[in-house]
Structures are given as structure tokens and as C-alpha cells.
Amino acid sequence: MELYSARICPFAERTRLVLVEKGIEHEHVEVDLSDKSERFMEVSPYGKVPAIMHNGVALYESAIINEYLDDVFPEPALSPADPVLRARGRIWVHYCDDKFLNDYYPLLTGSDADARDDLRGRVLDHFHFIDEHGLGASSDNGPYWFGAAPTLVDFAYFPFFERLPAWSHYRSISIPSECRRLKRWIAAMWMRASVQEIANSADYYVEHYKGYADAA
């Protein structure tokens, strides 16, 4: 298996975390997103990371890759056995990509101060929604989205919270004190060996997201 990835990319980190959690052997190919190779573009026609080549098959889009990995390498399972919970997990990943990130990234990159104030409020609303309706549904059974063990949902969200120090530094956004479940979840994720193996420092993100914030 070949993994095409970029260190800065949270979507690529999603798949890197799953590969490490499952102990899947692979060749890591670091992609220069400013100078994409022909080989990379063959594997990833969108020109985005992550992408994998496995047994002659190219796959891209992090959520799709991660479901594939969970199907082909079933141990340890990173999806609930219950079909209803699996469907809910897909809904939460969709919420991340279609709702949360549509406010989270513009908060950093937007240039209009009034718009940023509105986005800051919306991001805080997302934090409360995740705390109450996501993690709150299983808070009695463990710190993760579906209880005692992490799933693809946890690995879909965590890379964006790992990068929160850049948002805190440039846009003064942080986890509200009342979002206790969300804080517990972040702490539990930081304890995982896969996260510790891959994670970058807060200073790394402050430095590497400076261009996005300063351009706004």
C-alpha cells in the first residue's frame, strides 16, 4: 500500500491515524502540494491528499479511504457493529465536512471582521452541538463518540482539534468551559499512541497557518 499524504493536511492525518491504529504496513509518500508529481496525479485525479494505492486500486477522499480500510482490515474495528450506529457515524462525519468546517476554516481565512465575529459564534455553537448531541449521547459509556472505544468519527474530527492552537492564536477561539465532554474527548484522543506518533506541536500549527491568517 502506498499512502500519499502531506504533513500539514488534516484530511491526510485522518487516514494516517487509521493506518497506525490498525497497524497497516504502508509506504508513506510525502507530497509537495506546490509541485505535484505525475505519479501522485495518477493516484489522486483531484490532486488532493490523502490518496492510497492498494493492490492496484487508487482511492481518494479521506472518509471513503477510511471506510475502505475498516472493511479490508477489520481488526481492530473502527465502526460500530450496529447498522444504525454506523449510519449515525456517517452523519457525524458529514456534519464535520459539510457544516463544522464550512465555518471553522473561514473563521481563520476570512478578511471581514464582522463576518469573523459571526463565524466565531457559529463555531462556538458547533462546539456546543458536538458536546451535547454527539459526545453527549455516549458520555456515560466512555470518552469517545460511541463510548469506550474510538471509531472513524473520532479520527475524522481530531485533526481539526489538534490544529485548534492556530485558531486560538489568530482568532481567539477555544473550547468553552461548559463543553466538558468535548474537553474530555480531546484529552482522551491525545492519550492515544497513534495520535502521539503523528501529532505536531502547537507551535508548528501557529507557524504554518500564519499565511492563511495574515492573508485575511
Q: Which amino acid is at 210?
A: K
Q: Is the overall model pTM greater than 0.75, yes or no?
A: yes
Residue 89: per-residue pLDDT: 96
Residue 216: pLDDT band (50, 70, 90) is low
Which distant-in-sequence residues (6+ apart) come within 8 Å of 201 by Cβ?
none
Catalytic residue among 9, 130, 156, 195: 9
- What is the spatial distance between Cα 82 and Cα 66, in angstroms, rounded to a whole number? 18
Are 176 and 124 in contact by the 8 Å Cβ rule? The answer is yes
Q: What percent of the chain has pLDDT over 90?
A: 93
Residue 9 is a catalytic residue: yes
Residue 139: per-residue pLDDT: 65
Are 11 and 62 in contact by the 8 Å Cβ rule? The answer is yes
Q: Closest by alpha carbon to 167, among 96, 101, 99, 104? A: 104
Residue 111: pLDDT band (50, 70, 90) is confident
- What is the spatial distance between Cα 137 and Cα 181, in angstroms, rounded to a whole number? 10
Residue 110: per-residue pLDDT: 87
Q: What is the mean pLDDT of residues 120-141?
A: 92
**pLDDT tens profile 2-56:** 999 999 999 999 999 999 999 999 999 999 999 999 999 999 999 999 999 999 9
Domains with residue ranges and CATH for the chain: 2-72 (3.40.30.10), 83-215 (1.20.1050.10)
Are 182 and 127 in contact by the 8 Å Cβ rule? The answer is yes
